[in-house]
Amino acid sequence: MSLKSHAYPSAGDVRVPASVANLGGGFDTLAVAVQLYLRLRIIEIREDEGTRLTVVNSTPPVSGRNAVERAFEAIARWTGLRAPSVFVETDSEIPMAAGLGSSAAAAVAGLRTFERVTQPLPEGVLLAVATSLEGHADNAAAALHGGLTSVVEREGREPLALRWAWPEQVRLIVATPSGGLATSTARAALPEAVSRKDAVFNLQRVLSLVHALHCGDYGRLREAVEDRWHQPARAALVPQLAAALALEDPEILGTFLSGAGPSVALLARRDFGRIEQLLASTYERTGCPATIRTLGVHQALEAVPETLASAHGRTL
């Protein structure tokens, strides 16, 4: 890729949302950005063309090489642009290994920081680099664009992100157990192939889900988030999933595993506090500590409140 470096604009803070992927049957395809954030603050820029980012302080602490740093270096290699040495602090509300896109948010934070100290980059390039780091594009697309996204990964070409507005009144109530689940472990549980019958089942429901959200036909959401590809295979790794899927309440519009898990998400339009309690009870009965959050969607290209009333959650 041929790009020329130039004087960078004034840098500022970077904020990247968490994301809930799959949304039932949309395995490695669908994701929605939610109002839970990783925040990055640039504390020093050295005009030395060092082309390196260093995280001097991370909350919570991150062991090993930080994904923000890896992403900064990856986009530099991809574009061939030189950049100053950048020193940053990060503060993330997004729990790690929880199925809420923490690694994708960190990668996007590194990419956005690189833009801040070089020049704006094509969205396709940013998504391609994030995908190369993540292994799949779904969470990265939502973290980059906000709202509801689907992705098309193309052989030899940059992945494509498709975007829709998420209905403002529909929120996600997410339960996150205290113990994490590595994405590699969750992926290892998946079968090598699915039957044609199950493939058709999921394709039908993914299209139904996008249509229902677009048209406001929320009565179809419970059926539209059904899945036969990944949730049955991961159920043994997420003991509370079956109980959450079985919850019956007129205000629960749908239930599904958040990304690879172990978080579980419910869709609702009202009575959020009562539904939080209902979901919490499924974890309390098994003695599993969990944090329950009601999250609005981080919409594309618009200002959103820093938090909702219960965005930081309750630990039970």
* Strand 254-257 relative to strand 171-177, pairing: unpaired
Q: Which two tokens stand for residue 275?
A: 């539904």
- Look at residue 272 and tell me whether its pLDDT is greater than 70: yes
Position 177 pLDDT exceeds 50:
yes
Q: For the chain, how many helices (H) and strands (E)?
A: 10, 11
Q: What is the pLDDT of residue 274?
A: 97
Q: What is the pLDDT of residue 64?
A: 74
Phi-psi region at 313: left, alpha or beta (left = phi > 0; alpha = psi -120 to 50): left
What pLDDT is stored for residue 181 in this prediction? 84
Between 3 and 59, the higher pLDDT residue = 59
- Structure-token pair, residue 110: 């590194």
- 3.30.230.10, 3.40.50.300, 3.40.50.2000, 3.40.50.720: CATH of 14-164: 3.30.230.10
Q: Which position has the higher pLDDT, 163 or 309?
A: 163
- pLDDT confidence bin for 180, thresholds 50/70/90: confident
Instruction: Judge if pTM exceeds 0.85.
Output: yes
Distance CA 72, CA 55 (A): 11
What values do phi and psi take at 107, rounded to 5? -65, -45
Is 305 a residue whose pLDDT tops 50?
Answer: no
| Gap between the Cα atoms of 215 and 209, Å rounded | 10
Q: pLDDT by residue (tens digit) across 227-269?
A: 999 999 999 999 899 999 999 999 999 999 999 999 999 999 9
Res. 2 pLDDT band, cuts 50 70 90: very low
pLDDT recorded at residue 6: 39
What pLDDT does residue 40 have? 97
Q: What is the pLDDT of residue 11?
A: 55
Query: What is the CB-side half-sphere exposure of residue 80 using CA atoms within 13 A?
Result: 4
> Region 220-233: what's the mean pLDDT?
96
- Is the predicted pLDDT of residue 313 greater than 80, yes or no? no
Confidence category of residue 7, pLDDT binned at 50, 70, 90: very low
pLDDT at 220 over 90: yes
Residue recorded with tokens 């929880």: 98
Tell me, what's the pLDDT at 12? Answer: 67
Question: Which pair of tokens denotes residue 290?
Answer: 């969990």
CATH assignment of 171-315, among 3.30.1360.120, 3.30.70.890, 3.40.50.1000, 3.40.50.620: 3.30.70.890
The angle subtended at Cα 243 by Cα 239 and Cα 245, nearest 5°, is: 110
From the list 299, 245, 258, 267, the residue with the least C-alpha distance to 170 is 267
pLDDT digits (tens, 9 = 90+) for 23-75: 999 999 999 999 999 999 999 999 999 999 999 999 998 877 889 999 999 99
Average pLDDT over residues 116-133: 95
Q: State the Cα–Cα distance between residues 156 and 213, nearest whole angstrom.
A: 32
Q: What is the pLDDT, as a whole number, of residue 264?
A: 97
Q: Give the domain ranges of the chain.
A: 14-164, 171-315
Q: If you search the block for the tokens 């599904």, which residue do you land on?
A: 256
Average pLDDT of the residues in 191-204: 95
How many residues in total does the chain contain?
A: 316
pLDDT at 94 over 50: yes
Q: Where are the alpha helices (DSSP H) in 46-157?
A: 67-79, 102-117, 123-134, 138-145
Q: Token pair for residue 253?
A: 């519009």
User: Mean pLDDT, to the nearest integer, of 155-178?
Assistant: 94
Structure token pair of residue 137 = 């594009």
